[in-house]
Structure 1
Amino acid sequence: MIERIKSRLKKRQPYGRYQHTLGVVKAACDLAEHYGISVDKARLAALLHDYAKDLTEHELKKYIEVHKLEVDQSLYETYELLHGVVGAHMAKTEFGIHDEEILQAIRYHTTGRLHMEPLEKIIYLSDFIEENRNYPGVEALRKLAYEDLDKGLLQGFNNTIRFLLATDKVIHCNTVKARNQRLKDLAKK
């Protein structure tokens, strides 16, 4: 199945996105091994996390409507986030993936959510720390991701929120809730 997915991705994604996807796969597999999570599940979720990323806003919304996918209004209005929801559904229908851990990791890699499972955390973080990413603070985030998954996740949320504020973009409520939960959980440690 992995080779079939890679073959489809090569045809579907521009070169840069495909390289990003391979970087996320490497980071996710490394983090999964580090934290004792299924490397096979991490590989599948990482490979498919951006499967729907290159669909247009119209295509994403049409797909959601045709397949009657459940999407809140805020997410629906922020089309850059929709590829997670659509990608999870495509993973299920096009590749027969029914493992909820994998599907949730794909679905929520754009926003995070309350009560994230370890695989979801790994895919969310891997998207930020993969080897092709180069932005101020990425090295510190990479290091933190291996020291403490939840601290790395909190920093990832903080970075996302700072970026969205700086670029005057909508911050999805799932991101804020997930960030605040991480903060509270870490305070209890």
Structure 2
Amino acid sequence: MTKFQQDELQQLIKNFLFEQNCIETYHHCISVGDYAFELGKRYLENPEQARIAGYLHDISAIYPNDQRIAVANKMGITLYEEELEFPLIIHQKISKEIALNEFNITDEAILSAIECHTTLKGQYTDLDLVLFIADKIKWDQVGEPPYLVGLMEALDKSLENAAYYYVDYLLNHNIKVIHPWLWEAYLELKHDLG
């Protein structure tokens, strides 16, 4: 992606989110995308994919939680019972659809990373891991994440160690629902790091 294309994509995302009064989400998306790019330089052949995935990962913030089930149904997205119980998680799948249909992103690797940036999934790729970790480091809450120090120490070892650290942290800290993809990723990470 040239600097012009990057600026153009940023502007399109800004317009899209600002029209829906999702200003904080815009800043979070750009922060995650830029960090994912930097992280991607260490682990990916094409770190630009990580930047694009990061820029678009939360583009579905235009739909509040109470609308996500209906929006997903309208888009033809298959939902798990856990997503019906905790609709916040659906945003990753909706973001993938918006990236594809509104922003014409057709790169399957980018779409995959967007689709699992909250939960990860089994048979993850390095790009999936990079976006998953970048989103946790550059989180969208106030202050520093409570898991950040441990996550960064794990990241010094590998992407897999960092992802495992975060998922293990979640599973031990009152997680609302355990998404099937999260559990698959956890078991795979545990096995791979064995």
TM-score by length of 2: 0.85
SS state at 2:162 partner: helix
C-alpha contact 2:121 2:184 (8 A) present in aligned 1: yes
C-alpha contact 1:52 1:83 (8 A) present in aligned 2: yes
Q: Do structure 1's residue 140 and structure 2's residue 150 form an aligned pair?
A: yes
* Residue identity opposite 2:109 in structure 1: E
Q: Do structure 1's residue 185 and structure 2's residue 192 form an aligned pair?
A: yes
Alpha-carbon spacing, 1:171–1:54, altered in 2? closer, same or farther (3 Å):
farther
Alpha-carbon spacing, 1:13–1:180, altered in 2? closer, same or farther (3 Å):
farther
Alpha-carbon spacing, 1:12–1:123, altered in 2? closer, same or farther (3 Å):
farther
C-alpha contact 1:31 1:146 (8 A) present in aligned 2: no
Q: Do structure 1's residue 130 and structure 2's residue 138 form an aligned pair?
A: yes
Q: Do structure 1's residue 170 and structure 2's residue 177 form an aligned pair?
A: yes
Give the Cα separation in 2 of the matches to 1:37 and 1:131.
Answer: 25
Q: Which residue, 143, 155, 160 being the options, matches 1:150?
A: 160
Q: Do structure 1's residue 108 and structure 2's residue 79 form an aligned pair?
A: no
Q: Percent identity?
A: 23
Per-residue Cα deviation, 1:71-97 (whole angstroms, up to 9, x for no partner): 222223320100001110011110111
* Residue identity opposite 2:119 in structure 1: T
Give the Cα separation in 1 of the matches to 2:187 and 2:51.
Answer: 28
Q: Which runs of 5+ in 2 are unaligned?
A: 1-7
Give the Cα separation in 1 of the matches to 2:65 and 2:27.
Answer: 23
Q: Which moved more, 1:170-179 or 1:15-24?
A: 15-24
* Residue identity opposite 1:160 in structure 2: L
In the TM superposition, what are the counterparts of 1:1-189 in structure 2 within 5 Å? 1-2=8-9, 3-12=11-20, 14-130=22-138, 134-165=144-175, 169-187=176-194
Give the Cα separation in 2 of the matches to 1:131 and 1:49.
Answer: 12
Alpha-carbon spacing, 1:124–1:13, altered in 2? closer, same or farther (3 Å):
farther
Per-residue Cα deviation, 1:34-86 (whole angstroms, up to 9, x for no partner): 11342211111101111113412342122212121122222233201000011
**Corresponding pairs, count:** 184
TM-score by length of 1: 0.87
SS state at 2:172 partner: helix
Give the Cα separation in 2 of the matches to 1:50 and 1:180.
Answer: 26
Per-residue Cα deviation, 1:154-189 (whole angstroms, up to 9, x for no partner): 011112222334xxx1111221221111011111xx
Give the Cα separation in 2 of the matches to 1:125 and 1:170.
Answer: 20
Q: Which runs of 5+ in 1 are unaligned?
A: none
